[in-house]
Amino acid sequence: MTAQALIFDLSAFPGTDAAPAGLDAERLLDEAVEHGLPCALISELPYPQAEQQLRRRFGDTAHHIFSVVLTGADFKTRGPKSPYSVVLNQMGVPPDDALAVTASPHAIAAARTARISVQAERKAVRVTRRKTRTIVRPDARH
């Protein structure tokens, strides 16, 4: 593992709403904890909903695993107030040393904007790219 810190999106974990099958967030989290790497968690959900999913997934151990937890994240925010910038600042880690683990298209885009490497489910990335590259020409024959 080359990253010095990992930032997880809550939706990347099995047992949470919309967790992808192809993203092995649990294995990455286990490896990070084993190597003593700092981990953070970001969620678009408001605190009460995120707390329920955290408790369901991690029980009472979340505060031992994640050094920073940010809920109510708006992944469209740019600059120093963007979720990833806030978390990096709290962790004291530069973007080049972090890895974002997510399946959310908004979180993927936000992490890349913050210059953070991304570990994402391949299908989610392909669907996002396809949607943005679709061109319909009025003169095209059917």
Please, what are the averages of pLDDT over each run of 10 residues along the chain (142 residues)? 86 64 78 92 93 88 90 92 95 94 90 91 34 38 44
DSSP symbols for 40-90: EEE-SS-HHHHHHHHHHHHTT-HHHH-SEEE-S--TT--GGGSHHHHHHHH
pLDDT of residue 18: 52
pLDDT of residue 16: 52
Q: pTM of this prediction?
A: 0.78
* Four-residue CA torsion sign, 131, 132, 138, 141: negative
Count Cβ atoms within 10 A of the Cβ of residue 53 and give its class: 0-12 exposed, 13-18 middle, 19 or more buried. buried
